[in-house]
Amino acid sequence: MNQRWRTLALWLLPIGVVLLIGWQVASNGGINGLSQDSNGTTVAPRNAAVARMSYGRFLDYVEAGRVTAVDIYDGGRNAVVEAVDPDLDNRVQRLRVDLPGLAPELINTLKTEGISFDIHPPRSAPPALGVLGNLLFPLLLIGALIFLARRNSNMPGGPGQAMQFGKSKARFMMEAETGVMFDDVAGVTEAKQELQEVVTFLKQPERFTSVGAQIPRGLLLVGPPGTGKTLLAKAIAGEAGVPFFSLSGSEFVEMFVGVGASRVRDLFKKAKENSPCLIFIDEIDAVGRQRGAGIGGGNDEREQTLNQLLTEMDGFEGNSGIIIIAATNRPDVLDSALMRPGRFDRQVTVDAPDIKGRLAILDVHCRNKKLQEELSLESIARRTPGFTGADLANLMNEAAILTARRRKDAIGLSEIDDAVDRIIAGMEGRPLTDGRSKRLIAYHEVGHALIGTLVKAHDPVQKVTLVPRGQAQGLTWFSPDEEQTLVTRAQLKARIMGALGGRAAEDVVFGHQEVTTGAGGDIQQVASMARNMVTRLGMSDLGPVALEGGNQEVFLGRDLMSRSEVSESISQQIDVQVRNMVKRCYDETVEIVAANREAMDRLVELLIEKETMDGDEFKAVVAEFTAVPDKDRTVVTLD
């Protein structure tokens, strides 16, 4: 910025000097400048006037014969008059007069009265100064344009970048110093093994080519958000020690036609010049969506970019030594030509980690954090099923923030629990005051927890609380004892009964007319689970038949206009099966709640008093009133 201001000053300084000199020269010809006598000699004018006289009074003085001499300047606009003032003992006084112009009548009057007068012509400025004056505005305009052009030359899309639209925006590193190695990536052991081979391909290609193996052209990392796809790509770049190009799929596409394809060509041109190398494209679904999507809005520019990418990956010219790594969480919308062998030869699934993976991830994220000695990472791993690597990193960060807020020296179990609750349910709200509303919410939450405790196939209760979080006024948490990759029919029905426990408790305690809207979310969850059991899992009287497609998001142009997969009669039977299943579960839930009313009342009193009860305490109170089912037998018959 300082250089730009110096450049502008260098433009304006000469112009200012020229104008100043011209002004001084021009001012010399005025009433206060120099004049020349009749012989051409420069003399000081008689213009030391200190007072002014009006033009009318000047004429009166001329008629009265009091004016002795007149010097006329500026083409007749000004004059200096020598006049005799009777009020000053007839002393001669020099006065300045503003004339209306060099009128012939005034000259004749002066001649008639015999008054000595002299006309001083104005000094004309040099011709060069007039030319400079005419060129002043154009010079200033040209200087401003040059200044703006130089200022914007390095800005994206500026005048200096007009020819750079087709150039690739990939970040290039000759040796990627990402600071991430495979040892820093935990919880995705299978994916690491696949990607370690890529590093070996780049470092020791002869190990594979000697037996006829070909280096894969592309790897597609597929998985939910936050599972570590980009982190794995950084680890590959850090381990391989080869040139590394990284960019996002959205950086290919611009509003100008042909720019995306040009950037693809430029990217691969640079990659061939630096092979062997790695190219990482994050969120490739931004440019690799299915072509010809019809109503979904096929974008010609994006399709041209995708066509160029397909050609570069496996076209007429080979790309030996170039490995492309792409990441996406929407593989279902990618074009089939992009997924065929020869382009993305391998698909590496990066899924949410199991308990061992979460334990390894927590070990990585706890390296720089102070933990209490009694805090076990295994307990945190069991507390967080379904958490991804990003979720666990956020969990430990939230726990550290809570520890600092509470002025503690190390992270404890209470901070971990509060951080988990905050991430899952939202920020803690203001506690409810005692009253009918609080009691109703307590019965609702105890109903959920009571069914979760008495139905054997249900996940055990972890905590029941009346502390509001997010939009919920009360919450009940359940946590599985082990990782559940497969879910049985009994477990699904137990979950339906657990979700209906809150409404059943309201129905039993307050009556059918007093049920509230608090079970709205539970009922939506129940309807979804029951319909999946009937239509997709084959767990109904209709038999093991899939009556609906997979649980995929609608892709416009492919799914919006698709025909129904079942007839009207089957649709009616599906509705009947769903209603019957939910009704049977609700009736049995009401029976369990009614049979354990005494235990429920006691639990509600304790919950209102403490506001939060953990799973072990809740189960101990239930055991005082009824027999808690053993793990090896079923208490409730659901069919």
- Residue bearing the bigger pLDDT, 511 or 209: 511
State residue 159's pLDDT score. Answer: 46
Angle between helices 489-510 and 597-610 (to 10 degrees): 80
CA-CA-CA-CA torsion for 42, 43, 47, 48, nearest 10 degrees?
A: 130
Give the side-chain half-sphere CA count within 13 A for 541.
11
Given a cut of 90, whether residue 164 has pLDDT beyond it is no
Question: Given the structure tokens 């000004």, which residue do they identify?
Answer: 78
Which token pair is 176? 């990627």
State residue 160's pLDDT score. Answer: 47
CA–CA distance, 135 with 111 (Å, rounded to integer): 45
The answer to whether the beta carbons of residues 422 and 399 sit under 8 Å apart is: no
DSSP-assigned letters across all residues of 113-165: HT-EEEE-PPPPPPHHHHHHHHHHHHHHHHHHHHHHHHHSTTSTTSGGGTT-T
DSSP-assigned letters across all residues of 220-253: EEE--TTSSHHHHHHHHHHHH-S-EEEEEGGGS-
Domains plus CATH for the chain?
1-28+135-163 (no CATH), 29-119 (3.30.720.210), 171-349 (3.40.50.300), 355-425 (1.10.8.60), 436-551+563-625 (1.20.58.760)
- What confidence tens digit (pLDDT) does each residue in 368-413 have? 888 888 888 888 888 888 888 888 989 999 999 999 998 999 998 8
Per-residue pLDDT averaged across 619-638, rounded?
Answer: 60
Given a cut of 50, whether residue 165 has pLDDT beyond it is no
- What confidence tens digit (pLDDT) does each residue in 36-87 have? 444 433 333 444 445 788 888 888 888 888 888 888 887 777 888 888 877 7
Q: Which amino acid is at 199?
A: V
User: Three-state SS string across 287-328, please?
Assistant: CCECCCCHHHCCCHHHHHHHHHHHHHHHCCCCCCCEEEEEEE
- Residue bearing the bigger pLDDT, 623 or 119: 623
Given a cut of 70, whether residue 169 has pLDDT beyond it is no
State residue 531's pLDDT score. Answer: 92
Per-residue pLDDT averaged across 565-589, rounded?
Answer: 89
State residue 469's pLDDT score. Answer: 79
Collect all residues with Cβ–Cβ distance below 8 Å to 517 and sequence separation of at least 6.
Answer: none
CA–CA distance, 149 with 160 (Å, rounded to integer): 7
State residue 387's pLDDT score. Answer: 86
CA–CA distance, 530 with 595 (Å, rounded to integer): 25
- Angle among Cα 588, 591, 592 to the nearest 5 degrees reads 90
pLDDT band at 252 (very low <50, low <70, confident <90, very high): confident
DSSP-assigned letters across all residues of 406-462: TT-SSB-HHHHHHHHHHHHH-SB-PPPPSSHHHHHHHHHHHHHHHHHHHSTTSPPEE
Per-residue pLDDT averaged across 404-424, rounded?
Answer: 87
State residue 126's pLDDT score. Answer: 63
CA–CA distance, 558 with 453 (Å, rounded to integer): 45
- What confidence tens digit (pLDDT) does each residue in 191-241 have? 888 888 878 887 777 888 788 877 778 888 888 888 888 888 888 877 877
- Residue bearing the bigger pLDDT, 444 or 87: 444
State residue 450's pLDDT score. Answer: 92
Per-residue pLDDT averaged across 424-435, rounded?
Answer: 72
State residue 127's pLDDT score. Answer: 66
Given a cut of 50, whether residue 136 has pLDDT beyond it is yes
- Residue bearing the bigger pLDDT, 103 or 333: 333
Q: Which amino acid is at 418?
A: D
- What confidence tens digit (pLDDT) does each residue in 139-154 have? 777 777 776 666 555 4
The answer to whether the beta carbons of residues 299 and 252 sit under 8 Å apart is: no
CA–CA distance, 620 with 466 (Å, rounded to integer): 19
- Residue bearing the bigger pLDDT, 3 or 213: 213
Catalytic residue list: 445
Phi, psi values for residue 44, rounded to 5°: -75, 130
State residue 292's pLDDT score. Answer: 67
Per-residue pLDDT averaged across 322-329, rounded?
Answer: 87
State residue 258's pLDDT score. Answer: 63
Instruction: Report the 10 Å Cβ neighbour count for 485.
Output: 6
The answer to whether the beta carbons of residues 586 and 551 sit under 8 Å apart is: no
State residue 589's pLDDT score. Answer: 93
State residue 156's pLDDT score. Answer: 46
pLDDT band at 638 (very low <50, low <70, confident <90, very high): very low
CA–CA distance, 160 with 520 (Å, rounded to integer): 59
State residue 580's pLDDT score. Answer: 93
Instruction: Report the 10 Å Cβ neighbour count for 229.
Output: 25
- Residue bearing the bigger pLDDT, 101 or 420: 420
Least confident of 318-332, 385-399, 425-439, 547-561: 547-561
pLDDT band at 579 (very low <50, low <70, confident <90, very high): very high
State residue 526's pLDDT score. Answer: 93
Q: To the nearest whole percent, how much of the chain has pLDDT over 90?
A: 11
Per-residue pLDDT averaged across 134-142, rounded?
Answer: 71
Question: Given the structure tokens 């102070």, which residue do they identify?
Answer: 370
- Residue bearing the bigger pLDDT, 555 or 374: 374
Nearest C-alpha neighbor of 444 from the set 523, 385, 384:
523
Q: What's the whole-number average pLDDT of the chain? A: 77
pLDDT band at 158 (very low <50, low <70, confident <90, very high): very low
3-state secondary structure of 278: strand
Collect all residues with Cβ–Cβ distance below 8 Å to 486 and sequence separation of at least 6.
Answer: none
Question: Given the structure tokens 């988990």, which residue do they identify?
Answer: 420
State residue 319's pLDDT score. Answer: 60
Which token pair is 600? 């429920």
3-state secondary structure of 95: strand
Nearest C-alpha neighbor of 586 from the set 451, 488, 464:
451
